[in-house]
Structure 1
Amino acid sequence: MPRFARLFEAAADTLNAYYQAVAEGNVDSVMTLWIDEEFATCICANGAHLHGLEGIRAGLAKQFEAAPGTIEPLEIRVYDSLGTVVYAISEAHKPADPAGVTRLIFTTYVMVHERGEWRIAHIHASAMPDAAAGQFAAKMRHGQGPLH
């Protein structure tokens, strides 16, 4: 079983590389993490639907230029099988401008094992509703964690 444990840890490495590339605003680095298939899709928190690698590249480049920032995972749930890992994550999207407003986002990442590496096949992000975001933030402030 240790072989499988390392296999799934590598998916987390891909997710961490994604967060780092977003923080750097580096579209080229982000795109190296995607599956090499045109069925790749990304639904952004702003509602944009990006389809195919070129559509994803163009959409993310536009977002990075308009609103650079970082993503901080707050709560992570992982569902894995032999060739697929799904991350369901509550994230804080922090703008680079300190005066900007941090948004709480629910994001699902679907990763597949392709040619010996974990690649992103789909991202679906949606803004946390205000009521849920308020409850989530209050629990985090009181040290209860998001699951209590």
Structure 2
Amino acid sequence: MPLPPQAAAQLLASTPEDSEALFYEALQRADLDRLMALWSDEDEISCVHPGGPRLVGHGAIRSAFETLFGHGPINAHPERVRKLHSGDMAIHQVLERVQVAGAKGEAQTAWVIASNVYMKTALGWRMALHHASPGSASDVQELSEGPATLH
């Protein structure tokens, strides 16, 4: 169930980075309507939360975030974003730093590795996929190949 066009149009994201910033702001505010307005109108949008099943379609995604927001805002901040843009599609690989309450109420940091896929639509860049996996402190370290050519 996407938002009506007039509501979605209020969240015009002119770049994938704009859409991503709005996504994390909606998480931090537990703003379900704003979050859902960022998703593409495609039927095959999907979302995977850490350790959870694949959710397909607006209804399933909305229901899952509604349940999550029932516990309060999600204090997630994107870090170490790697981007691949090609035409009307953008893929962002993100290391999310999530602040959670520990057993004694003190703030603790959890890490999540996420892939966010965005599509360019008539209403701007919209999310088509959010796939998040549990991470660990060691994921802050990044392994990558060096450049293939020397300059």
Q: Which residue of 2 aligns with 1:118?
A: 125
1:26 partnered with 2:31: yes
Does structure 1 residue 70 correspond to structure 2 residue 80? no
RMSD over aligned Cα, in angstroms? 2.2
1:134 is aligned to 2:141: no
Alignment TM-score, normalising by the size of structure 1? 0.78
Q: Does 1:108 align with 2:115?
A: yes
Structure 1 ranges of 4+ moved more than 4 A: none
Q: Which amino acid aligns with 1:45?
A: P
CA gap 1:80/1:113 in 2 versus in 1, 3 angstroms: same
Alignment of 1:12-91 (within 5 A): 12-66=17-71, 68-91=73-96
Structure 2: distance between partners of 1:16 and 1:100: 23
Q: Is the 8 A contact 1:67 1:96 kept in 2?
A: no
Task: Indicate conservation of the 8 Å contact 1:68/1:95, yes or no.
Answer: no
Partner SS, residue 59 of structure 1: helix
Alignment gaps of 5+ in structure 1: 1-7, 140-145
Q: Which one scores higher on RCO, CA 8 angstroms, separation ≥ 6?
A: 2
Residue-pair matches, total: 130
Measured in 2, the distance between the counterparts of 1:26 and 1:95 equals 18
